[in-house]
A and B are shown apart, each in its own frame.
Chain A
Amino acid sequence: MRETSRRFLGTASCRALLGAAALLPFLASPGLGQALPKKVTGRLIQGASTRIADPKLAHGGVHLRYFLKPASGRWRVIAEVLQGAAVIRTLNDSVVHGSTSAIKLFWDGRNGTGVFVDPGDYTVRISAPDSGSGPLLYPVTIVRLGITEIEARPNGGTNEWQMVYFRKATTYAFYATPAIHEYLSIKDTGEVSDLDLNDGSPRPAVPVHAATHEPVMEGANYEDDEYNYPLCYLINTQPILELTFGAEGTSAATGTAVPAGYPVPGYEIRARGEDGDGAWTSTVTSIAPGSRAEFTGPALPNEAMRSDVDVTWRWQYRATGAAEWLAVPGSFATAHRFYTIVAAPQFASGASGTQYSGPWVEVAEYLNTWRIGLVKRALNQATTNEVMVLGIFGQQGALPTAIEGVCYDCPIMGGDGGATHYYSFGTTTMDLSALLNNHAKGKYVNCSDCAGTSSVMIAMVGVTNVKMVMLGYMNLKAIWGIGCPGYTLNLWGSSHAFSYHHIITRDNATHVSDACMCVDEDGSPTTLPGTPGYNCDRIWTGTSGYMYLAASNNVSKTVETLPKLK
């Protein structure tokens, strides 16, 4: 016994010495100043971990979990990433306390030199060499997930439209947002892949194009590889976005194009979206590089307005046939600008050209600005008409000026006799693009310009049956002209009458709207001062009617058509 004890002691001393020697490399590790407890056999147990990952997604990478038991022990734990048999990254090499809960590790998808690894198969090996437990092996497949195109699609009917820009640098040119994809993010000339930049870092999402007059330009030409245009839907529609998934990334190591690395045999991958209002759902359960999938989002507002929506796209995977979907860590966010309108855009009958492809972005933006400035809601055609007429006239609420800062062409404004600047009688065409280009043909307008402007703008945001109405001679009462400081009974300095007048209607002139002037609604329309009487769907006849409040004579009217657009 004694001898045995001595042998044991001797053996124990020897082991202690050997153990101390073995510990020397770890003395620099945190917490190693303490004496190790007596040796305890440990157990490494695998926990739920990421099987498929794209580290280039925001917060993407590989989450690993393992258990180290018992909780009373502590062991040196080495976690390494292997590509084949080669260790390409050491994630951990330190003494770890045992725990009853899972211990977490994260691999950011970079190798030992700090660059992203290429798509492919890797293994994470976690070992605790002194624990007496064998290493844990985690197979991981790195893929490259990403979106190259997004196309807005109608949802069960005609409820989605392209939008139109009217400038191209210093020239006038109409451009419709591409129906095949309003969002595009692909390689440009000289670039290697669609999903990544040439240094292998992920290509950032394309921000929403916020300009309202001109599309995205690339030098003198329209941009054709990177844009994110606004979308237009009918109010209360659940929008559908069709995503195209990218097929290639760029190797950070070699700078060459590399395949996206999926499908992964034995697994399905799908995508999901989410915004602040809810989920973007899809029935597609298996995507592949270059494939497409439709996602239906939460319903858009039930009024005409602009909505800026950030959609976070995430990917999930599952073993083929399994029920449970697991998250591919990380996400990719795209921003989208939605304009909603109350009905299908209306244009002059028989007109043809890009300008008639859908609502103009600047017009839809004006509608949104005006509804905010006027604190009104464009819920239907009547209220949309009201917002637009009041907005064009401006000079109330938070709208200090008329549209584009124009004013009526009359002497008190430094003008002349009410000349038409933007509306062409001969061709029945409204030069809206010049007006919206900071009143490029002068800041004066007359009634035809105002009626032309209001009719085409109101119609293109979905108000139906809008027409111009030409009125005959008007012996005027007190009026407040667009852009003018107030009411007048002496419009021209020497007279106070219209040789003709132009207004609009949406019910063949039973009611009329006039964005060019206000009538005086204080009960005494032939004297000053005036009380603003805005003309939004004002009835034509009667003592509160347009004709009585605007003129002292019987005014003839001729219902015309909706003008063409220039």
Chain B
Amino acid sequence: MKRTRITLSGTLVSAALWVFCAAPFLAAQEPAEEAGLEAQLARAAELYAPAEWPQSARRAGLALGEIDIQGYRGEPLRAAGETIERRYAGAEEELPPFTVEAVVCDTAKDAQRLLLTWLATLASVDPAPRALDLGAPVGDAGYVGLSAAGEGAMSWIAFARANVAVRILADDPRQTPRPDLTLVARTLDEKIAEEPPLAEDAPLPRPAIQSFAAERFECRAGEVLRLDLAVEDPAGGPYHVEWIVGGPGQGYVERREDGAWRLYTTGSGAIRLVAEVTGRFGTMTSRAIDLQVGAER
């Protein structure tokens, strides 16, 4: 008995020693969860059940450039690829700013995947609450990032309505008075929904680039070339142009007093000049031209 006890004790000590020594490496022997966005999306799908989200009929988009929020001054629209953004700063500078980002997708499914991506890439393992559960029914599906600043302060609110995904980010939810992100979300949601539904197979109303050309397609660095860009947006209203000057040649595009666009070449080499035109409803069309810019002289 005594011997046995000694043996057991010795075994326990050995086991404890083994555990102690091996502890740092134990973790490495456990199977790791798969990394990568698709794995994250799969886990998020389990958490948020997007298959159960309703899907409204497709809409034309979101006229973000036209949306005024009381007490705020909307800054110029920013478009990069399919994403449109607009920052709103307090008109009286007492209201802390917030940013709206929106993507007008081809389908509601695409918009919901983007919403799911936003949720899947939350670092916390705790699920974000539904906007609906917080008394803020926005979108076909909507979720909220509750700030720890208290009193219902929101860090962000995101939703998908039809084929449009929207996220509103508070600059700093600790600042007071706080922007009412719920109100902003509702305003945007209503704006999307008030557009008539599109037929299932109807194309989105995208701006059409009717012509895009440079006065010449060869020049020397330092020369200024007039650009001809004609756009028709079926939604009417102003359109937004982002210019991408792809190198190795260099330059920039500006609109001068006469209203014409001009390419100012500042470095030699081939240029692929892309005009990305975002229409009133946030849909984008692009077209490219190629130019050859020779050495200055």
A interface residues, Cβ below 8 angstroms from B = 162, 170-173, 175-176, 178-180, 221-222, 224, 352-354, 356-357, 409-421, 424-427, 429, 431, 439-444, 446-448, 470-473, 491-495, 497-501, 541, 543, 547-548, 551-558, 566
Range, interface on chain B: 35 or more
* B52 partner residues in chain A, CB cutoff 8 A: none
Instruction: Given A414-B173, A495-B124, A548-B27, decide whether A558 and B267 contact each other with a Cβ distance below 8 A.
Output: no
Task: List the A residue with the shortest CB-CB distance to B153.
Answer: A414
Instruction: Judge whether B126 and A446 touch: CB under 8 Å.
Output: no
25 A-B pairs within 8 Å (CB atoms) are namely A176-B252, A178-B266, A179-B221, A179-B250, A352-B246, A352-B272, A353-B244, A356-B247, A414-B147, A415-B173, A416-B156, A417-B145, A419-B118, A427-B81, A440-B99, A441-B87, A442-B172, A446-B121, A446-B123, A447-B123, A494-B126, A500-B35, A548-B27, A554-B27, A555-B32
- Complex Cα gap A180–B221 (Å): 7
The distance in angstroms between the C-alpha atoms of A554 and B172, with both chains bound, is 35
- Give the Cβ gap from B286 to chain A, nearest Cβ, in Å: 12
Question: In the complex, which residues of chain B have a beta carbon less than 8 angstroms from the beta carbon of A444?
Answer: 155, 172
Judging by beta carbons under 8 Å apart, are A417 and B36 in contact? no
Which chain A positions have C-beta within 8 A of B121?
A: 419-420, 425, 446, 448, 500
Q: Which 10 A-B pairs have the closest CB atoms?
A: A418-B123, A179-B267, A417-B124, A352-B246, A556-B32, A411-B148, A416-B145, A178-B266, A472-B35, A416-B155
Report the Cα distance A553→B24, complex, angstroms: 10
Contact with A along B141-154 (1 / 0, CB 8 A): 00001111100010
Contacts of B39 in A (CB 8 A): 472
Known: A442-B171, A443-B172. A176 touches B244 (CB 8 A): no
A interface majority secondary structure: loop
Q: Which residues of B contact A495 (CB under 8 A)?
A: 124-126
Not counting A500-B40, A552-B27, a sample of 15 additional A-B residue pairs whose C-beta atoms are within 8 angstroms of each other reads A162-B250, A176-B250, A409-B123, A414-B147, A415-B145, A418-B122, A421-B169, A429-B81, A441-B87, A492-B124, A497-B125, A548-B24, A553-B32, A554-B27, A557-B35
Question: With an 8 A cutoff between CB atoms, is B128 at the interface?
Answer: yes
Q: Is there a chain A Cβ closer than 8 Å to B216's Cβ?
A: no
- A529 to chain B minimum Cβ distance, whole angstroms, is 21
Q: Flag whether B261 is at the interface (Cβ < 8 A).
A: no
In the complex, A433 Cα to B93 Cα: how many Å? 23
CB distance from A154 to the nearest CB of B (A): 13
| B90 contacts the other chain (CB 8 A) | no
B65 CB, min distance to chain A CBs, angstroms: 13
Bound state CA distance, A492 and B267, in angstroms?
50
Assess A224 versus B118: contact at CB under 8 Å? Given A180-B296, A492-B126.
Answer: no
**B65-91 interface bits toward A, Cβ cutoff 8 Å, 1 = contact, 0 = none:** 000000000011010110101010000
Which residues of B are found within 8 Å of A472, using beta-carbon distances? Answer: 32-35, 39
* Distance to closest chain A CB from B212 (angstroms): 17
> Would you give the shortest CB distance from B20 to chain A, in whole angstroms?
12
A418–B246 CA distance with the chains assembled, in angstroms: 34
Residue of A nearest to B37 (CB): A425
Residues of B within 8 A of A548 (CB): 24, 27
Cross-chain contact A499 with B123 (CB below 8 angstroms): yes
In the bound complex, CA of A48 to CA of B186 (Å):
86
Which residue from chain B places its CB closest to the CB of A427 in the assembled complex? B81
Q: Which residues of B contact A440 (CB under 8 A)?
A: 87, 99, 171
A412 to B296, CA, bound (A): 57
Across the interface, B35 reaches (CB within 8 A) one of A420, A442, A547, A558, namely: A558
B252 touches A222 (CB 8 A): yes
**Contact status A425-B32, CB under 8 Å:** no
CA distance A289 to B284 in the complex (A): 49
Chain A residues near B131 (CB-CB < 8 A): none
The one of B31, B170, B221, B266 that contacts A176, using a Cβ cutoff of 8 Å: B266
Contact yes or no, A547 B27, CB < 8 A: yes
Contacts of B188 in A (CB 8 A): none
Complex Cα distance, B222 from A68, in Å, reads: 56
A470-B128 Cα distance, complex, nearest whole Å? 21
Cα distance A419–B117 when bound, in Å?
11
